[in-house]
Structure 1
Amino acid sequence: MFSLFGPVHITTLCIIATTSFTTIHLYRTTCDKTQKTIRQLLAICCLISYPLHLTLALIAENALSLENKVPFHLCDLAAIICGAALLTQRSRLCELAYFWGLAGTLQGLLTPNLTSTFPSPAFFSFFWNHGFVVVAALFIPLAIKWRPEKHALWRVFAITQIYVVLAMSLNFLLKTTNYGFLHHKPEQASLLDLFPAWPWYILLLEFICLLLFLLLNLPFSLKSQK
């Protein structure tokens, strides 16, 4: 049974933090050719998250629900976007990777919707996906020196609203899915337990999402004003 902020959880978070620091440091202190290799390897780690999830489930002979077969959770999409952003370095992809990775996926790392602990395939798959998304989200501004454009925050927030509508529509049509945790709260302990009941917690999530986006954009706004 997975224990929130137990020894395994804390150790895993420390490993992810160390991986992030080491990757950024290596990128900053190596030549262009090595930098390209680091960026490509990190992109691959993000892009294989979903295939790895399916492979580990097959090895463990776990029957996957429809929700786990179709990668439409925000963190699943963020992993794909992070991989594409690292490979192309396109600003629009980088802004999605940055805001979604640190405002959304980081919260998943801190309060995982997970029952199995180390060394289960589900544990490994979950932290691989979420861990590398957060590493990439930090890597993009701190290593490759990407900076958000003027209206990036509002553009990403608008795209997030499109995701909310699509996820809620899929949940309604498929009945058995809970993409974005927009149908009901996670089964495991999470910050949403402190929120009001459905659908009111969704409105509160929208407010917190915008607040986090503003905070993530703040360092760049302050720097541009100097």
Structure 2
Amino acid sequence: MEWFGKSHKYYNFEMFSASHLVTLAIFFLVSSAIFLYRKKLKGAGWRRFEVGSAISLILVEISNHVWMLENGVWKFGRSMPLELCNIGLILCILLLMTRKKIIFELLFFIAILGATQAILTPALTYDFPHFRFFHFFYAHMMVVWAALYFFWARNYYPSFQSVIKLIVFINLLLPVILLINNQTKGNYWFLRHKPETPSFFDVLGPYPWYIFSLESLLLILSLIAWFILRKRENSHKGRSHF
């Protein structure tokens, strides 16, 4: 089976098609439910659900790599879990398993700014009901839902220091990704060249300046998100902090 084979009946996912709109409705419905039922989600009994969710994400991700291997499309230059959303998924699993605040601080901005954008404008080939369709949306939505769950139900808050930690984390990973791209001829994080199709990268300047523009944009958006949530935190002084 070819990776982009047009003969495949599930080829040609269309943005804002019926399947995408239904998926978006589910995403916003569950997100709203997490907020509305946040007090009921505080109980100790939800610990099993957290661990079970983490295990489900591990199994789904393993299944995805098995699918790629069986179909002969797994390649070092594009299939390793190195994209920012893949890293967000790993952080999500670790957060669900450990409840560590430092992991939440890194995950929150990746989830809100990255995974949400991917859900709204997915770079996806296979449509419903293909496995890749379910894998893509389940993984990305769980990353956002986990971040919202710990924020609304578990009272984990990002701080200004969280933004600094995220930027440091990204810049520590940057040379590693550059090295892997060089060795595998890959383009993780689009650090070797822009996407071949038109994208928002086109307004960020030529290579390599768009990389610095993208990081600046991440910093600005993270600070905006932190500032908004900082006001929310101040309006709930009675809440406990972790």
Give the TM-score taking structure 1 as reference length: 0.85
Distance 2:94 2:74 in 1: 26
Distance 2:94 2:18 in 1: 33
Quick one: which amino acid aligns to residue 73 of structure 2? Answer: A
2:84 is matched with 74
Q: How does 1:1-226 map to 2 (within 5 A)?
A: 1-23=12-34, 25-26=36-37, 28-29=39-40, 32-57=43-68, 61-175=71-185, 177-187=186-196, 190-223=199-232
Kept after mapping to 1: 8 A contact 2:128/2:134: yes
Quick one: which amino acid aligns to residue 124 of structure 1? Answer: F
Q: How far apart are residue 185 of structure 1 and its match? A: 2.8
Report how many aligned residue pairs link the two structures: 224
Quick one: which amino acid aligns to residue 125 of structure 1? Answer: H
Quick one: which amino acid aligns to residue 36 of structure 1? Answer: R
Distance 2:83 2:219 in 1: 19
Distance 1:90 1:49 in 2: 23
Distance 1:58 1:184 in 2: 26
Kept after mapping to 2: 8 A contact 1:97/1:136: no
SS in 2 for 1:4: coil
Distance 1:62 1:23 in 2: 39
Instruction: Give the number of the structure whose alpha-carbon radius of gyration is greater.
Output: 2
Per-residue deviation, residues 13-36 of structure 1 (Å, max 9, x unmatched) = 222222333355555325724322
Deviates more, 1:110-119 or 1:19-28: 19-28
Quick one: which amino acid aligns to residue 192 of structure 1? Answer: F
Distance 1:166 1:148 in 2: 26
Give the TM-score taking structure 2 as reference length: 0.80
SS in 1 for 2:73: coil
SS in 2 for 1:66: coil
Residues 36 and 7 from structure 1, CA distance in 2 versus in 1: closer, same or farther, beyond 3 angstroms?
A: same
Q: How far apart are residue 149 of structure 1 and its match? A: 4.2
Kept after mapping to 2: 8 A contact 1:115/1:188: no
- Give ranges in structure 1 of 5+ residues lacking alignment: none
Distance 1:80 1:99 in 2: 14
Distance 1:208 1:184 in 2: 18
Deviates more, 1:62-71 or 1:150-159: 62-71
Kept after mapping to 1: 8 A contact 2:77/2:184: no
Per-residue deviation, residues 110-157 of structure 1 (Å, max 9, x unmatched) = 222222222222222222221211111222211211013451111111
Kept after mapping to 2: 8 A contact 1:108/1:130: yes
Q: CA RMSD in A?
A: 2.5
Residues 159 and 196 from structure 1, CA distance in 2 versus in 1: closer, same or farther, beyond 3 angstroms?
A: same
Residues 3 and 152 from structure 1, CA distance in 2 versus in 1: closer, same or farther, beyond 3 angstroms?
A: same
